[in-house]
Amino acid sequence: MATVLITGAAGFIGSHLADLFLSNDYTVVGMDNFITGSRRNIAHLSSESRFRFVEHDVTQYLDIEGKIDYILHFASPASPIDYLEFPIQTMKVGALGTHKVLGLARAKGARVLLASTSETYGDPLIHPQTEDYWGNVNPIGPRGVYDEAKRFAEALTMAYQRYHGVETRIVRIFNTYGPRMRARDGRVVPNFISQVLAGQAMTVYGDGSQTRSFCYVSDLVDGIFRLLLSDEQEPVNLGNPREMTIATFAKKIANVAGVPEKTQYEALPVDDPKVRQPDITKARRVLDWEPVVKLEDGLRETIEYFKTR
């Protein structure tokens, strides 16, 4: 039975990965320091004999007893307001945390999968984004702490692969949503849904013409599972190519929630990417993967979850 260490296991994506690996008979060690995650996300695993939780900051020396076959490095503040609140911790977890993870992988002979991001493409000048695009990132803007930490993490991961022969995988995740996102994490999905459920206006930033493409979490973790077990050593985009403006997205949320649309326009954050859409040709080819959950269905599930919060 293989053992997988998941850093950031108490977070949104990390907790769904823990569920997926447990349901595929893996033993899971979850690690988190709760900086943006929540005990509630893993509470349902407390009586699961194949799940063990270690409360630890991944930027500090890592010492895990026993064998580890795979490491999924998902620890990092991930929403713009989180990484603006914790800029140094964001850089540390991307840089020092990734270094500790790669060192542990080398010691244990484990394969590492790094959670990277569409933010490595910055405010992209190529659209949709393909993996061979090097990006347009402002290193000293407010988002630079996240974007550059992830770019450094990718470079370090490739260095460990080339220099030390560590088996590595890199996923570039595009906007993903679903149950267990924090209601106040500031990202557009939790914001709009919380606002709609509270009867408030949805806060559209800028003129709402910027685009995003939203992937439901079950699709994403299925792609990550396939990537981990594949032979692909270079970065792979995972996300849903269905792109829309944020103004249209607000309409969609109101529609699925069954309420009249109310919006309020606010200032666009600095360096907010104007467009974003994954080119998933590579994922289709090497992983035989593509998203299957319709936006309307994913939003319905997520709205139901937020109603219980």
Residues 67-96 that bind ligand NAD (CB under 6 A): 74-78, 93
Run of H or E residues at 83 = helix 80-85
> Residue 205's CB: how many other CB atoms inside 10 A?
15
- Compute the distance between CA of residue 146 and CA of residue 141 in angstroms, rounded to an integer: 10
Q: According to the binding rule CB under 6 A, does residue 299 interact with ligand NAD?
A: no
Q: Judge whether 136 and 170 are in contact, CB under 8 Å.
A: no
Residue 79 or 129: the one with the smaller Cβ distance to ligand UDP is: 79
Q: What is the DSSP string of 3-70?
A: EEEEETTTSHHHHHHHHHHHHTT-EEEEEE--SS--GGGGGGGTT-TTEEEEE--TTS-----S---E
- Given ligand UDP, ligand NAD, none, residue 188, with its beta carbon under 5 to 8 Å by kind, binds ligand UDP
Q: According to the binding rule CB under 6 A, does residue 10 interact with ligand NAD?
A: yes
Minimum CB separation of residue 147 from ligand UDP in Å reads 10
Each residue of 189-201: b (16+ CB within 10 Å) or e?
A: bbbbbbbbeeeee
Q: According to the binding rule CB under 6 A, does residue 277 interact with ligand NAD?
A: no
Q: According to the binding rule CB under 6 A, does residue 188 interact with ligand UDP?
A: yes
Residues 41-80 that bind ligand UDP (CB under 6 A): 79-80
Residue 18 or 31: the one with the smaller Cβ distance to ligand NAD is: 31
- Compute the distance between CA of residue 269 and CA of residue 302 in angstroms, rounded to an integer: 25
The residue type found at 132 is D
Q: According to the binding rule CB under 6 A, does residue 137 interact with ligand UDP?
A: no
Q: Judge whether 220 and 13 are in contact, CB under 8 Å.
A: yes
- Given ligand NAD, ligand UDP, none, residue 272, with its beta carbon under 5 to 8 Å by kind, binds ligand UDP
Residues 93-122 that bind ligand NAD (CB under 6 A): 93, 97, 115, 117
Q: Would you call 146 a catalytic residue per the annotation?
A: yes
Tokens read off for 71: 């490491």
Contact footprint for ligand UDP (CB under 6 A) = 79-80, 175, 186-188, 191, 203-205, 210, 212, 246, 268-269, 272
Cite the active site residues: 146
Positions touching ligand NAD (CB under 6 A) are 7-8, 10-14, 31-37, 57-59, 74-78, 93, 97, 115, 117, 173, 175-176
